[in-house]
Structure 1
Amino acid sequence: MRLAFVGKGGSGKTTLSSLFARYATRRGPVVAIDADINQHLGLALGLDRGLTDGLDGGLAGGTAGHPPPLGGMLTEIKDYLRGDNPLIRDTASMVKTTPPGRGSRLVRLNDPFFPSRSVEGVSLMVTGPFEENDLGVACYHSKLGAVELYLNHLVDGPGEYVVVDMTAGADSFASGLFTRFDLTILVAEPTRQGVSVYRQYRDHAAGFDVEIAVVGNKIHAPEDVDFLREHVGDDLLTWFGHSPAIRGMEQGRPFTLDALEPAGHLALATMLDRLDAQPKNWTKFGRQAAEFHIRNAHAWANRATGEDLVAQIDPGFVYGPAVASS
């Protein structure tokens, strides 16, 4: 199952991503992907502060024990996933939305080709930060393309979890990435700004059959919960109040889930139960993959590659574990 964390900058989505990733390891293997322009998920998971600071300076090849950033491996990722798919001419004609087809290489959780580092029982993957040669000439979505391709070709099974800490706000709508998840958690503070990001995300996702649940954060009083219920209604799943354990974690003190207060454990269990209860819909996943590939082909990719990339869609390809095991 795949879970995305989105929300306003500063809402606490990275902190909650790290807590959920830790918690989900109690039920199965977890891959956590830092897909935020501010690469702080490793820090929240407990990587040494001195090592994690190196991420901010750019890690094109991976240093200080960190995995090489996926954003710096985009060409290699395309070549690996393309496999022997006859509909994809070459790596240059493969774009971030290119869907798998017969002959493509499908991947399982913790595929050794994709570099990760084990932290707190979680396999951490990173897109990587902006590097000096990116400034002024590239947008961060080029790095997110590596995550989109990975999720397009991933066949995750029961009891396996992918947790993605996304870019802040509605920035993920710049591609089809927002449809690659079984459930999206929007972290909302009990403020007008917090609920406005929820409305923006909800409205953008309307019509695309995207499952959204709201998790309140920084709740200080029952009135805060009432405020969120008033503005997000039944989408409110659970919430986190003030937690000395979480504050200590954010300040760099040693932290384990055992230190988390009972209310925090209950909120995490509610989130995990909600994700596990979500039906896996491979048919919808394939339909959305084709839809957004067609959108991108017509909008820019055909022009950029000089060919009709709609022809890359394999109508005979079936998504899901059946094709992966055949």
Structure 2
Amino acid sequence: MNMKIAFVGKGGSGKTTLSSLFIRHLAASGAPVLAVDADINQHLGAALGLDEGEAAALPAMGARLPMIKEYLRGSNPRIASTETMIKTTPPGEGSRLLRVTGDNPVYESCTRGVELDGGAVRLMVTGPFTESDLGVACYHSKTGAVELFLNHLVDGRGEYVVVDMTAGSDSFASGMFTRFDMTFLVAEPTRKGVSVYRQYKEYARDFGVTLKVVGNKVQGQDDIDFLRAEVGDDLLVTAGQSDWVRAMEKGRPPRFSLLEEHNQRALETLHGAVDETYEARDWARYTQQMVHFHLKNAQSWANERTGTDLAAQVDPGFVLCEQPEAVPLPG
């Protein structure tokens, strides 16, 4: 199974640290892993052990969007040109689809291999929001490359995509929050820590998004009780202070097998929850949500900007699935 997993939370909650630990855990299990840094503050590369120069040299997806669009468009007759492709453009007959493994021009241009203790992963990054972007671009123009990528990504057995999302509830500005089989919301045991949870819970309610809370920086039973009272059964697991993480943040991580036992168990719990969620995936609904947000974006701004009726990009007989085939969408 290919599982798409998002880590979200407020700034400073530790979501990048936890997503990097989960990526290391998956890689150590031998699974193929694609890691994506979609945060406005690009820190995932460093959390995976890259030095400052290596992290800065990572190729930005946002800067390669025209190439990504050209490749994904393929021979889809419903997409006249890359200029009419937007972040929500869904695939259809003739589109090129991607898998986690294998090679293609998008991976060749936008991914870099990262060697980890016990395994290796591919890493993609949106690219930082720089001073030159101010006044001429919004960050969603960069994360749009990730959304388009996820819309064209199909399943391969035993593969994982882990996305470190931008802080807060910014992902609800598009349909990207519906692209994941599991969303882990990292929350500290404070009122501010659970505020983003409430936003996510409200937004996600109508879209079948599976949301679980990972309590972080938990120091005792009182913290656990607080989180349980605030988020109820959505609290999946908690993580506490870690000498291993502190050493990693200094650039001197010990072997991953030396991560504290309670934190290893927490990662195993996340892994188990992710794998259980796959069985509930509804491919027709997954594709229909993609179409829903595309039509919403088309009507609200993109038709006017492109001078094209982008509803025509929707292939009504196409459902994205492990073996893509043309089957009617419901309704």
Give the TM-score category using the shorter length. Answer: over 0.9
* Alignment correspondent of 1:200: 199
* Alignment correspondent of 2:25: 23
Deviations along 1:44-85, whole A, 9 cap, x unmatched?
000123433xx2xxxxxxx3xx3x110101111111100000
Aligned to 2:207, the other structure's residue is in SS state coil
Deviations along 1:106-158, whole A, 9 cap, x unmatched?
11114432221222111111110123431222111001111001100001222
Q: 1:185-196, aligned counterparts within 5 Å?
A: 185-196=184-195
For the 8 Å contact 2:90–2:314, the answer to whether it is kept is yes
* Alignment correspondent of 1:99: 90
Identity of aligned residues (%): 60
More deviation, 252-261/290-299: 252-261
| Partners of 1:156 and 1:250 in 2: CA distance | 33
* Alignment correspondent of 1:45: 48
Q: 1:83 aligns with which of 65, 74, 80?
A: 74
Aligned to 1:136, the other structure's residue is in SS state coil
Aligned to 2:96, the other structure's residue is in SS state coil
Q: 1:1-326, aligned counterparts within 5 Å?
A: 1-25=3-27, 26-52=29-55, 55=56, 63=57, 66=58, 68-110=59-101, 111-113=103-105, 114=107, 115-119=110-114, 120=116, 121-278=120-277, 279=279, 280-323=281-324
Aligned to 1:321, the other structure's residue is in SS state coil
Code of the residue aligned with 1:99 in structure 2: it is P
Code of the residue aligned with 1:268 in structure 2: it is L
CA-CA distance at 1:292 after TM superposition? 0.4
| Partners of 1:173 and 1:4 in 2: CA distance | 13
Aligned length: 313
| Partners of 1:324 and 1:15 in 2: CA distance | 38
| Partners of 1:286 and 1:50 in 2: CA distance | 39
| Partners of 1:255 and 1:285 in 2: CA distance | 40
Unpaired segments of 5 or more residues in structure 2? Answer: 327-331
Code of the residue aligned with 2:5 in structure 1: it is L
For the 8 Å contact 1:107–1:154, the answer to whether it is kept is yes
Aligned to 1:322, the other structure's residue is in SS state coil
Code of the residue aligned with 1:112 in structure 2: it is N
Aligned to 1:37, the other structure's residue is in SS state coil
Aligned to 2:324, the other structure's residue is in SS state helix
CA-CA distance at 1:249 after TM superposition? 1.1
| Partners of 2:4 and 2:30 in 1: CA distance | 14
CA-CA distance at 1:222 after TM superposition? 0.9
For the 8 Å contact 2:185–2:212, the answer to whether it is kept is yes
Aligned to 1:206, the other structure's residue is in SS state helix
Structure 1 pair 72/47, CA: closer, same or farther in 2 (3 Å)?
A: same
| Partners of 1:319 and 1:254 in 2: CA distance | 40
Code of the residue aligned with 1:248 in structure 2: it is A
| Partners of 1:131 and 1:27 in 2: CA distance | 36
CA-CA distance at 1:324 after TM superposition? 7.1
TM-score by length of 2: 0.92
| Partners of 2:267 and 2:248 in 1: CA distance | 16
Q: CA RMSD in A?
A: 1.4
| Partners of 1:254 and 1:4 in 2: CA distance | 24
| Partners of 2:255 and 2:43 in 1: CA distance | 18
CA-CA distance at 1:27 after TM superposition? 4.6
| Partners of 1:96 and 1:213 in 2: CA distance | 26
For the 8 Å contact 1:27–1:159, the answer to whether it is kept is no
| Partners of 2:233 and 2:137 in 1: CA distance | 39
